[in-house]
Amino acid sequence: MDSTMSIYALPGHKVKLKENYMMMGYGHDKDNIQRHLKLGEIYTVEETMVFSSTSYVYFEEVPGISFNPIQFDSIIPQSHEDDMKNPYLIKFIEDSARYSQSKEGNSGEDV
């Protein structure tokens, strides 16, 4: 059973294009796929980059070209434990914890 790739996929993770990839992503995402990838091929994650409003995946087979993770299925889904090893997720968790602590420490009352 195929599943959408995790945006936190680690290097070495194997994915393939979704059959309906043209219905997802932005115009430049579709253009990059049509120029560089083939439906049915398997690609190896080199790196994923996760930001507040977008994510990118880079593949070993196509160096220097970014793609939209939403357009890919995992060959074997990555476990939650492996997701937790991704530096972008670790940073997000740490930043969220710092933010929560600062909100708890700031009750809004002047002393």
> What is the pLDDT confidence band of residue 106, given thresholds at 50, 70 and 90?
low
Which amino acid, one-letter code, is at 23? M
Q: Each residue of 1-42: pLDDT tens digit?
A: 458 899 999 999 999 999 999 999 889 999 999 999 999 999
Which amino acid, one-letter code, is at 2? D
Q: Each residue of 47-105: pLDDT tens digit?
A: 999 988 899 999 999 999 999 999 999 999 999 999 899 888 888 888 888 888 887 76
Cβ atoms of 33 and 67 closer than 8 Å: yes
Calpha distance 84→74 (Å, rounded):
17
CB neighbours of residue 31 within 10 Å: 11
